[in-house]
Amino acid sequence: MVPVAAAAAVIPAKQSFGQLAGLHTVNDPLDLKSSVALVIDQETHEVLLSKNDQAVLPIASLTKLMTALIITQARLPMNELLTITQDDVDTEKGSRSRLTVGTTLSRGEMLHLALMSSENRAANVLGRTYPGGLEVFVAQMNSKARQLGMADTRYVEPTGLSSRNQSSARDLALLVNVAHGDPLIRELSTSPAHEVAVGHKTLQYNNTNGLVKNPAWDIGLQKTGYISEAGRCLVMQTQIAGRKLIMVFLDSAGKFSRLADAQRVRNWVESSARVSGKIPSVSAKNG
């Protein structure tokens, strides 16, 4: 009888850049699972909570906020039809997409899917079909980052699949503030669900952030992101206890922990407002 082969060795999960840098060893009073966090009052710019907020890390699909900003500010026709080609297929991570090669949708539909459902091929076709092509588009992304004062930020492509797309929480808060000023980005990023007709089929897409369907939350803009190098990421503009807040969470370890971190912050803000009417600032940094 042939002996049963030993169980295959468990391959350890790939560590994120934040884990490799030891950022998860930093403790904070709210016991956040994200190694980087920043909460800012959007109107007064007061920093309410900061944790490793200057660390520069991969940002995954948070990239798509800048992609959207470049598209909307270029005033390109949203009804123009764009077609997915082989050039839009992910060769970086091998991620899947229901937008098969040959799929044609309007620029507006592509933008909707990129922001709401983090559709990578949709984001790539937006950059590829920009006047001058992908290289010019990425240059515009980096130029806009410099214009906004995002000194820690660098983009190499429009989807976030590359770990070379990197930023800090402070930079991302600047981007969220500007993107929140765009009505279309606000609308599309917080859309709970959307259907698109592709040939004879109707595809149902849902928001990657379950909080947008929660009536207890007042979310004005949001974007999620994930690649193994970045961990789970989330940015939001939201109103809590009468204050407009910008939240940034990077490199969260668990699948749902970035949303749980947002809830922890919300509970803290509401509790502080009830007890004293004032929210104390919290800061935690590495080393």
Please give the positions annotated as active site. Answer: 61, 64, 118
Q: How far apart are CA 20 and CA 70, in angstroms?
A: 32
Residues in contact with 48: Cβ distance below 8 Å, sequence separation at least 6, in sequence order: 39, 40, 41, 245, 269, 279, 281, 282
Radius of gyration of the chain (CA): 20
What is the distance, to the nearest Å, from the Cα of residue 127 to the centroid of all Cα atoms in its chain?
17
Helix or strand or coil: residue 53?
coil
Q: How far apart are CA 180 and CA 188, in angstroms?
A: 11
Q: Which amino acid is at 156?
A: V
Residues, the chain, total?
A: 287
Helix or strand or coil: residue 160?
coil
